[in-house]
Structure 1
Amino acid sequence: MATTEPTTEPTSARTVLPGRPPFTVDDLLKFPDDGNRYELFNGSLLVSPAPTSQHQLAITFMMEILLKALPGDLIPLTTINLKVSDKDFLIPDLVVVPRERARTAGLMFTPSDVALAVEIVSPSTKLRDRAFKTEAYAAVGIPSYWRVELGEGPVLYVYDLVDGDVYGPPAVHKAGTVAELAEPFPVSFDPAELS
């Protein structure tokens, strides 16, 4: 009688994505939940792995800071679906939106809902967060964008709209000093609190 030996060859799981490039937001909604973060820029797919624990801690600490500082009509949310167009879809690490809109938005938010977008820079997203998202958030009129660079101490870069769809040069706030911010709402904190 013949016996079959178990194979020891490694197997690799591949995600098969429905649709074809250029992708649309409707295509994206059919993607499997495989642990990756899928975003779209002009129909091109941007894929990020699940964030590290340090990344998640920074988001949690930022949420705590914002919850204490925000007026009652605003609320921070993490990883929302931000539909910019049929071929542009972003997932900011954290946003501040009107509390009432958070209750009624459902699956998607629009740029006009967002008072502040925050990105915590990771090795896999640094180019995107430093350049692409800075331009993308400005182009759709999000009033303020904060970029947190954990590897720098951490350092907080604050961008505010100066000309409708362009951010001015960022204000830089290093760990060990208190950032006193007035827009889009008053808040004070030391970026060191994010690590």
Structure 2
Amino acid sequence: MATSEPTTRRTVLPGAPPFTVDDLLKFPDDGNRYELFDGSLVVSPAPTPLHQRAISRLLLLLETAAPSGLECLTTVNVRPSDSDFYIPDLVVVSEEVSDSVDLMFAPSDVLLAVEVVSPGTRVHDRATKKVAYAAAGIPLYWRVELDEGPTLYVYELDGDSYKGPATYKAGTPATLTAPYPLRFDPACLAGPRITRS
């Protein structure tokens, strides 16, 4: 009696390294997140439920606090050059700009980029993206480390690089002034949802 061999699905990507943004736009929609850093491809799987929880809660906090004319969006395309293409977990942009963008934002459109660190993105979120976002001129970068309580790291652009970070650990509210006033305890990004009676 013949047994069937397990099948492995492979994604064949068009083009060859170093990749361009035009190559990236031809990639299949296979559930992975494809980003480019100077033509080098970085592939991330779909986020975990805890990662999604943190993104959703931070989105709600940022949206609730946003002044008129600004909004927070998830997983948008940011194109600094033909060989760089980023997909931050969250961004803050002006509503006027987002109304006119079809597919990709320019880095100058982004007031804040946020990454929630997961095991598969740890190196890129801590090092590569910090350098890339600063080089692109994005004024603020927030990094959320879920396995640290969670902890929020806030980087502000100072010339061509970020200064800091300012660090806010779970249990201590972060009082922030940019991109607009906001106060929250990072613990709320990963803990049980607070219900109101």
Q: TM-score, normalised by structure 2?
A: 0.94
CA offset digits 1:9-67 (Å, max 9, x no partner):
11101000001111110000000011110000111110011100100110000011001
The letter of the residue matching 1:190 is D
Alignment correspondent of 2:72: 76
Answering whether residue 173 of structure 2 is matched by residue 178 of structure 1, we say: yes
- State how far apart, in whole Å, the 2-side matches of 1:6 and 1:177 are: 62
Of the candidates 151, 164, 170, which is equivalent to residue 155 of structure 1?
151
CA offset digits 1:143-184 (Å, max 9, x no partner):
100000000000000000122x21002000001111001122
Offset of 1:7 from its aligned partner?
A: 4.0
Alignment of 1:1-195 (within 5 A): 7-163=3-159, 165-195=160-190
Q: Which runs of 5+ in 1 are unaligned?
A: none
Identity of aligned residues (%): 64
Q: Which runs of 5+ in 2 are unaligned?
A: 191-197
- State how far apart, in whole Å, the 1-side matches of 2:150 and 2:2 are: 50
- Which secondary structure does the structure 1 equivalent of 2:118 belong to? coil
- State how far apart, in whole Å, the 2-side matches of 1:114 and 1:6 are: 57
- Which secondary structure does the structure 2 equivalent of 1:169 belong to? strand
Give the count of matched residue pairs: 190
The letter of the residue matching 1:137 is Y
- State how far apart, in whole Å, the 2-side matches of 1:192 and 1:6 are: 54
RMSD between aligned residues:
0.9
Following superposition, which runs of at least 4 residues in structure 1 exceed 6 angstroms of deviation?
A: none
Over alpha carbons, which structure has the higher Rg?
1
Offset of 1:6 from its aligned partner?
A: 5.8
- Which secondary structure does the structure 1 equivalent of 2:162 belong to? coil
The letter of the residue matching 2:176 is L
